[in-house]
Structure 1
Amino acid sequence: MNPIEIVQQEYPFPAKPIALTDVEKQEYKQRIKSLLKEKNAVLVAHYYTDPEIQALAEETGGCVADSLEMARFGNQHDADTLIVAGVKFMGETAKILTPQKTVLMPTLEATCSLDLGCPVDAFSAFCDQHPDHTVVVYANTSAAVKARADWVVTSSIALDVIDHIDAEGKKIIWGPDRHLGGYINKQTGADMLLWNGECIVHDEFSAKALKDLKNVYPNAAILVHPESPASVVDLADAVGSTSQLISAATTMDNDTFIVATDRGIFYKMQQANPGKTFIEAPTAGNGATCKSCAHCPWMAMNGLKAIEEALMDATGHEVFVDEALAEQAMKPLTKMLNFAADAKVKVKGNA
């Protein structure tokens, strides 16, 4: 593994949405429900959005899932319009897989540090320097970066794909998450060059603070998303994608879990396991910074007010992907989907 030089990047965080009263929340929910019916629209929400958004998606016949499953649900649903509560690359993926439908987002300003940290021009230049490498990118990337790749993968299928490429004797460029790439490299031993990217949420988890918390809850199992630093992953009782962590919380015998991923996932974990206790892995103290405090600031932009605004007027909310770019990006996505079908691997779970 030869990662490029690691330089910690800083990203401007968006302003937090204005808090609504309980009365206002109910009013917005009722109006959104009416608008979804009026527009023949369906709401799909990511696991990392706020619980009230996930609940609203479920209540209205939508879904709560990872980004690829969100897009596939929208593709198969008979709605004319998809409203994607997540971050921009998720809306782009939905549009690529469902070009005939209108795809809206509560705000097009909701982005991702993995996307921001992997601009297509710089990434393409890096790939051009290593033309003998197969380019594999995580789903948490822009449509343009996907279009530059040979493969697109989710975190749950990445190990299988990298194993497959490695077995063919090929060298690999991995982007953009260096932690996930490092984890995969350690598991597979593949010849990989890693792009220098990170999820600001997972990057903040602290091994020292996590050990201290484990001492307080010695019987708790530690669940870790592999976008976390290796020192945190090494402490895990289970490592996996969003869907895999939810499954682990359900199947493991422990009644208490310390969870190192975005706290938005607690909604589905608690829904599936009402008798179990879930605790956020530390992002403050002992070297951690709590800049994100275990919740993506861009995911938090998906508020009820913004959803209503998108349904009322699509201007400034509709996702467009250039047709030629979408066609090119579809190739590595299709390759992954075909690989998953052939291997009978259920593709679930990205950031």
Structure 2
Amino acid sequence: MMVNQSSIQTLLSKEQAILIAHYYVNAEIQQLAQDTGGIVADSLEMARFGAEHPAKTLIVCGVRFMGETAKILSPDKRVLMPTLEATCSLDEGCPSDDFKTWKSHHPDRTVVVYANTSAAIKAQADWVVTSSIALEVVQHLHERGQSILWAPDQHLGRYVQHKTGADMKLWEGECIVHREFQAQSLIDLKARHPEAAILVHPESPLNVIELADVVGSTQHLLSAVQSRSEKIFIVATDQGLFYAMQAAAPDKQLILAPTTGRHATCQACGSCPWMQMNSVEKIEEVFNQPGHEIYLDEALIDRASRPLARMLSFKNNYLNRQL
């Protein structure tokens, strides 16, 4: 079914709505969001943009925890998603009841959870962090003698632990996209492209991270492609980011880091299957079909908003100290 962009623009205006898309959704949605006055960003910036924008309705194109985070930060706004079935292996791999039990076994630890979690997990945390601020938050806590209970991404947690030396107990979750990047295959690919810079998202295994020239969040990797002098980049993250990278640096060559190798196969193969459940056709459906709205209990929103607010305050203070 063909969807006319102008008809979506008309619907957005009529409903006082704005499109908010993640870097990992398909290029058609990213372009549509930009063309209609919305944004393409990482999960935190998506939620912040939605909270600050005057639109009464936020259409969040990504996975469910992103819609929930937008609702937490914009409780008075209507939050719709092209599909509520788009989940995340990190979210799915950290059930609220199991996490509550695990937390009860470590009552003296400060609970730090990654943004890629449900509202129910965030509500049990002391801090919520994104990949762009995780190192700084944990370093801050470590310097104050606090031990950490970390969930759910074990690879990001192990990287943070390695960099900070913090006492951390790690939940054993992982992203099905980033876990598949292969160190030996990356070494082999680098040998064929010795002039290339290697960019790695920290949800990747530590032996892959150790090969990187740049480690960072989606926004950090995007900035690296723009600012670095290399002309070729081997990129270990979801290839949905390539659209924004190519638009920002059209003269650069991008190569997806290997997700297969000796005796290895891939399931996600560099692309999140849940992100790909979003489509322009489903965006049009959110206005006239039920089953697209994010609902959260007010008490849950209140509890989940506190660790998010703590992170945002820390981030603002941290950035001010850097100026």
2:80 is the counterpart of 1:99: no
C-alpha distance in 1, partners of 2:267/2:304? 33
C-alpha distance in 1, partners of 2:192/2:6? 43
C-alpha distance in 2, partners of 1:194/1:345? 30
Q: Residue 162 of structure 1: CA displacement?
A: 0.3
Summarize deviations over 1:157-197 as a string: whole Å, max 9, x none: 11111011111111100000000000000000000000000
Partner SS state of residue 287, structure 2:
helix
TM (norm. structure 2) is 0.97
2:53 is the counterpart of 1:77: yes
Q: Residue 345 of structure 1: CA displacement?
A: 6.4
Aligned-partner residue type, residue 244 of structure 2: K
Partner SS state of residue 179, structure 1:
helix
CA contact (8 A) 1:220 1:254 kept: yes
- CA-atom RMSD, angstroms? 1.2
Match of 1:337 in 2: 312
Q: Residue 304 of structure 1: CA displacement?
A: 1.0
TM (norm. structure 1) is 0.90
Aligned-partner residue type, residue 60 of structure 2: V
The 1:127/1:82 distance shift into structure 2, 3 A limit, reads same
Match of 1:178 in 2: 154
C-alpha distance in 2, partners of 1:329/1:294? 31
C-alpha distance in 2, partners of 1:28/1:259? 33
Summarize deviations over 1:80-120 as a string: whole Å, max 9, x none: 11000000000000000001110000000000000000011
Aligned-partner residue type, residue 329 of structure 1: A
Aligned-partner residue type, residue 161 of structure 1: V
Match of 1:193 in 2: 169
Summarize deviations over 1:213-236 as a string: whole Å, max 9, x none: 112211110000000001110110
Q: Residue 287 of structure 1: CA displacement?
A: 3.9
Partner SS state of residue 270, structure 2:
coil
2:85 is the counterpart of 1:109: yes
Summarize deviations over 1:304-351 as a string: whole Å, max 9, x none: 1111111223x20000111000100001001111111111269xxxxx
Summarize deviations over 1:56-80 as a string: whole Å, max 9, x none: 0000000000111101111111111
2:25 is the counterpart of 1:46: no
C-alpha distance in 2, partners of 1:201/1:158? 20
Match of 1:319 in 2: 294
Match of 2:190 in 1: 214
C-alpha distance in 2, partners of 1:173/1:215? 39
C-alpha distance in 1, partners of 2:43/2:99? 22
Q: Residue 253 of structure 1: CA displacement?
A: 0.6
C-alpha distance in 1, partners of 2:264/2:201? 17
Match of 1:29 in 2: 5
C-alpha distance in 1, partners of 2:206/2:309? 30
Structure 2 unmatched ranges of 5 or more: none
Partner SS state of residue 174, structure 1:
strand
C-alpha distance in 1, partners of 2:11/2:98? 41
C-alpha distance in 2, partners of 1:289/1:59? 38
Aligned-partner residue type, residue 167 of structure 2: D
C-alpha distance in 2, partners of 1:175/1:70? 22
Q: Between the two proteins, what is the percent identity of the paired residues?
A: 59
Output aligned runs, 1:202-351, within 5 Å: 202-313=178-289, 315-344=290-319
Q: Residue 211 of structure 1: CA displacement?
A: 1.2
CA contact (8 A) 1:206 1:287 kept: no
Aligned-partner residue type, residue 142 of structure 1: S
Partner SS state of residue 278, structure 1:
strand
Partner SS state of residue 215, structure 1:
helix
C-alpha distance in 2, partners of 1:31/1:220? 43
Summarize deviations over 1:135-171 as a string: whole Å, max 9, x none: 0000000000000000000111111110111111111
Aligned-partner residue type, residue 186 of structure 2: L
C-alpha distance in 2, partners of 1:312/1:287? 48
CA contact (8 A) 1:28 1:305 kept: no
Q: Between the two structures, name the one with larger relative contact order (CA 8 Å, sep ≥ 6).
A: 1
Aligned-partner residue type, residue 30 of structure 1: S
2:41 is the counterpart of 1:57: no
Structure 1 unmatched ranges of 5 or more: 1-19, 347-351
C-alpha distance in 2, partners of 1:311/1:212? 49
Aligned-partner residue type, residue 77 of structure 2: K
